[in-house]
Amino acid sequence: MANSKTVLVTGGAGYIGAHTCKELAAHGFAPLVYDNFSTGHPDFVRWGEFVHGDIQDVPRLTRLLLEKKPLGVLHFASSIAVGESVEKPDKYYRNNVYGTLCLLEAMLTAGVRDIVVSGTAAVYGHPDEVPIPESAPFDPASPYGCSKAMVERLLLDFETAYGFRTAVLRYFNAAGADPEGEIGERHEPETHLIPNIFRAACGLIPALKLFGVDYPTPDGSCLRDYIHVCDLASAHRLALEKLVGGQKKLRLNLGTGFGYSVKEVIEHARRVIGKPVPFKVEERRAGDVPALVARADLARKTIGWIATRSSLDSILSTAWRWFEKDSLKKVTL
């Protein structure tokens, strides 16, 4: 197993998973994508082998792990929309908590012990301290954040009981797209800020809904720390290499340490794409918190990660290029 270059990537047909497969392939690993296409896309599977399957199917996953003997697992398959999680908490606990438990059981049976998991800044909820250090207590404000906090607890217990080596990468706001334009962000329905800004600017929706301008922030809209998806991808590869090298545990924020308000992102986007962005102020969205900004130095110190592509200009320009190719093309056909 030590010589294997195969890495099982659950949710490898999704936005962050697919970018990470590209990163893995570029560094000599062989991604093995495992995805049920519930939210992933067949055309995002471009690097490595593909197996269609569900993480809750423990026998199938166990057989696959025994057959392929990957050196580790990158676990992206999960439900990710804060607002939806408030309306459908059962879906979040099933897909995220139970789904991860199924994966860990399959790994235990198959003797695969190293796993890097998608975490989130949503575990922190309303932090006392911003920028938020990794040591901040968990106080999730949504079932989504809570489900990911529960996943972290599962991992801790599997470390203690079974000697798993685990990394949780707590993303702040994933954004941007592959600079070569091969893959990017595509969610159905789209709930994320930057693609929705583009949709409003191009008339695909009448106006961006700006959720809340009465937050305790400088301009009243929420502050978020936007991180380029390719920087997230490199962090996964580095974390996996660290675990395989013997590190037992990693809990890392992935952010830039700098927050932009929703209004600032709208203004930046207007300049980058050269189009006005119509928006309409709406009520706050359930589950949102005022400010999520990372203290971001631990990932640099422990895995040597540096976010090189995460300026807002780079995020917006790569995202825009992808949006033009992926969404506008369909409209003009």
Residue 193 in the binding site for ligand UDP (CB under 6 A): yes
Q: Rule CB under 6 A: is residue 293 a binding residue for ligand UDP? A: no
Q: Which is nearer to ligand UDP, 35 or 288 (CB)?
A: 288
Among 147, 67, 131, smallest CA distance to 99 is for: 147
Q: How far is the CB of 296 from ligand UDP (least distance, A)?
A: 16
For 167, the 3-state DSSP assignment is strand
Residue with the CB atom nearest ligand UDP in the bound state: 222
Closest separation between CB of residue 210 and ligand UDP, Å? Answer: 5
- Polymer length of the chain: 333
Q: Counting Cβ atoms within 10 Å, is residue 260 exposed (0-12), middle (13-18) or buried (19+)? A: buried
Q: Does 224 bind ligand UDP (CB under 6 A)?
A: yes
Q: Which of 144, 171, 215, 226 is catalytic?
A: 144
Interface with ligand UDP, residue 315, by CB under 6 A: no
Q: Determine contact, residues 10/35, Cβ cutoff 8 Å.
A: yes
Cis peptide before 89 (omega within 30 of 0): no
Pattern 91-130, ligand UDP, x by CB under 6 A: ----------------------------------------
In three-state secondary structure terms, 120 is: strand
34 is an active site residue: no
Helix, strand, or coil here: 2?
A: coil
Considering the rule CB under 6 A, would residue 232 count as an interface residue with ligand UDP? Answer: no
Q: List binders of ligand UDP among 170-189 (CB under 6 A).
A: 173
# binding residues, ligand UDP (CB under 6 A): 15
Letters for 69-88 (x = contact with ligand UDP by CB under 6 A, - = none) are -------------x------
User: From CA 230, how far away is CA 22, in angstroms rounded?
Assistant: 9
Scanning the chain, the segments in alpha helix (DSSP H) are: 15-26, 58-68, 82-87, 89-92, 99-110, 143-162, 193-201, 229-244, 262-273, 297-303, 312-323, 329-332
Residue 327 C-beta: closest distance to ligand UDP, Å: 15
Cα-to-chain-centroid distance, residue 270: 25
Answer whether 60's CB lies under 8 Å from 105's CB. Answer: no
262 in contact with ligand UDP (CB under 6 A): yes
Does 285 sit near ligand UDP (CB under 6 A)?
Answer: yes
- Interface with ligand UDP includes 196 (CB under 6 A)? yes
List residues near ligand UDP by CB under 6 A: 82, 173, 191-193, 196, 208-211, 222, 224, 262, 285, 288
